[in-house]
Amino acid sequence: MEELYTLEKEVGRGSYGVVFQGHMAKTGQRVAIKRLPCSNPECIELYLQELWAMRATAKNHVNVIALHSCLVQTGPRSLKPLKPGNLPVRLVESVLKGSVVRTPESQERNDAQSNSQRRSNSVSRLQDRTNTVQARAKPQDKSKSNASDSTTPQRPQNRVRKRPAEREEEQPGPLRCLALWLVMEYCDGGDLNQYLLSRPPEAQRNHSVVRQLCSAVAFLHSLGITHRDLKPDNVLVCVTPKGPVVKVADFGLSKMSEGLVDGDLTRQHFSSTCGSDFYMAPEVWGGLTYTAQADIFSLGVLFWAVLERITFLEEGTTQEQLGAYVCKGRSGWLMPLGEALWENADLQLCIPMKFKRAPPLPPPPGPAMCALLLDMLASNPECAPLSKRTPTDTKCA
């Protein structure tokens, strides 16, 4: 790794991997390096989807995160660049077989360890028969976190997740592919939450963000890529003298269509319930099949939150996040728009949201933008053709 890139510090950690800030050894160019441990086939499948989508986008759009290279870790300190167009055969096998594929040498070691473990278990069972007293573990106390004193509306943690939990421990014995390292362009402005909420609202900046996201999603859809997890956390920002340049990132849940029918991505249907609950479309919430129009709904929620500075708090956190919602009941329970529209397709959304905006208050969106948001947030995708639920409408300018 040191011969090609130098790791400087950790800048992010999620369910799947760790992101480091680093730089190229030869040029000194700053880069972001994401390590994805290949510990189980479910995670490996997501990694390969992300790699495939990022290779398809290459460096062809300024508002989509650029992939510089991919490295395959084959040992504790052994990495090799992955050639463009190639996928690690062992990882593909792992996804197809549903178990991590190892080298013959590691398989022999694992067989030996399994035999040793079975013998140990047999001895343990024999000892258990002679024991008359069994130790019982004491239940641990679970402390409840204190609620935040902030006046920002609060929402419990996301309930709908498709991504499997990451298992950090490495499998015994040397694997052919311990991890994938994705080397990407570095964004110094953080994610969209961090960037916008650390600054006072500015209408020109907000509309620039909206236009750039329109362009990015239109580009992805033109390539047959449905992102399926559009949200502020997955939009990174590069700070430039001319203003922010936003980059759509994190393609772990994305899907690529083999070919478009007359340029129509809505012919490709998906069935997996995935994404983040505040941005999921009603049809996804309902467990129905859905198309790339689900991305447009997510984009509509994102636009609404950006333009009106609508925020909420996850349970147990104090950091504000951008997101639109519906208040339910006297207690003001925050319900995601998609869930609320799935339960009541006739629900009338109040745009602008007025008093639910976070101070300082930006100017509310104009009539043309309100009409566009209502089109993007239509409750029934069958009643809202892609020509309406579209990110390329000229009214977004």
- Enzyme catalytic residues: 229
pLDDT of residue 247: 97
Q: Are β-strands 18-24 and 5-13 bridged in parallel, bridged antiparallel, or unpaired?
A: antiparallel
Q: Of 178, 164, 247, 175, which Cα lies nearest the Cα of 36?
A: 178
Q: Comparing 3-7, 95-99, 315-319, which segment has the lowest mean pLDDT?
A: 315-319
Region 312-318: mean pLDDT is: 78
Distance of CA 75 to the CA centre of its chain: 28
Residues 6+ apart with CB under 8 A from 103: 174, 175, 176
Provide the greatest CA pair distance for the chain: 80
Condensed to tens digits (0 to 9), the pLDDT of residues 364-385 reads 889 999 999 999 999 877 655 3
Helix axes 367-376, 293-308, angle to 10 degrees: 140
Condensed to tens digits (0 to 9), the pLDDT of residues 186-201 reads 999 999 999 999 999 8
- Strands of the sheet with 154-155, listed across from one edge: 154-155, 311-314, 320-322
Helix (H) or strand (E) holding 368: helix 367-376
Q: Which two tokens stand for residue 191?
A: 């994610």
Query: In this model, does residue 207 exceed pLDDT 90?
Result: yes
Helix axes 41-57, 89-97, angle to 10 degrees: 130
Annotated binding residue 34: yes
For the entire predicted model, the pTM comes to 0.78
Specify the 3-state DSSP secondary structure of 290.
strand
For 37, 55, 365, the CA distances from 177, given in Å and listed in that order, are: 9, 19, 50
Give yes or no for a contact between 72 and 79, defined as CB atoms under 8 angstroms apart.
yes
Distance CA 227, CA 252 (A): 8
Region 86-109: mean pLDDT is: 71
Condensed to tens digits (0 to 9), the pLDDT of residues 143-164 reads 444 444 456 667 666 555 555 5
Q: Label residue 128 by pLDDT band (50, 70, 90).
A: very low
Helix (H) or strand (E) holding 68: strand 67-75
For 227, 252, 362, the CA distances from 304, given in Å and listed in that order, are: 19, 25, 12
Give yes or no for a contact between 180 and 73, defined as CB atoms under 8 angstroms apart.
yes
Query: In this model, does residue 93 exceed pLDDT 70?
Result: yes
Ordered by where they begin, the domains of the chain are 1-97+177-186 (3.30.200.20), 188-396 (1.10.510.10)
Give yes or no for a contact between 18 and 35, defined as CB atoms under 8 angstroms apart.
yes
Distance CA 312, CA 193 (A): 11
Sort 43 into a burial class: Cβ within 10 Å, 0-12 / 13-18 / 19+.
buried
For 61, 62, 392, the CA distances from 17, given in Å and listed in that order, are: 25, 25, 33
Give yes or no for a contact between 100 and 41, defined as CB atoms under 8 angstroms apart.
yes
Q: Of 339, 347, 346, which Cα lies nearest the Cα of 281?
A: 339
Quick one: DSSP state of residue 213?
H
Proportion of the chain above pLDDT 70, given as a percent: 73
Distance CA 189, CA 240 (A): 9
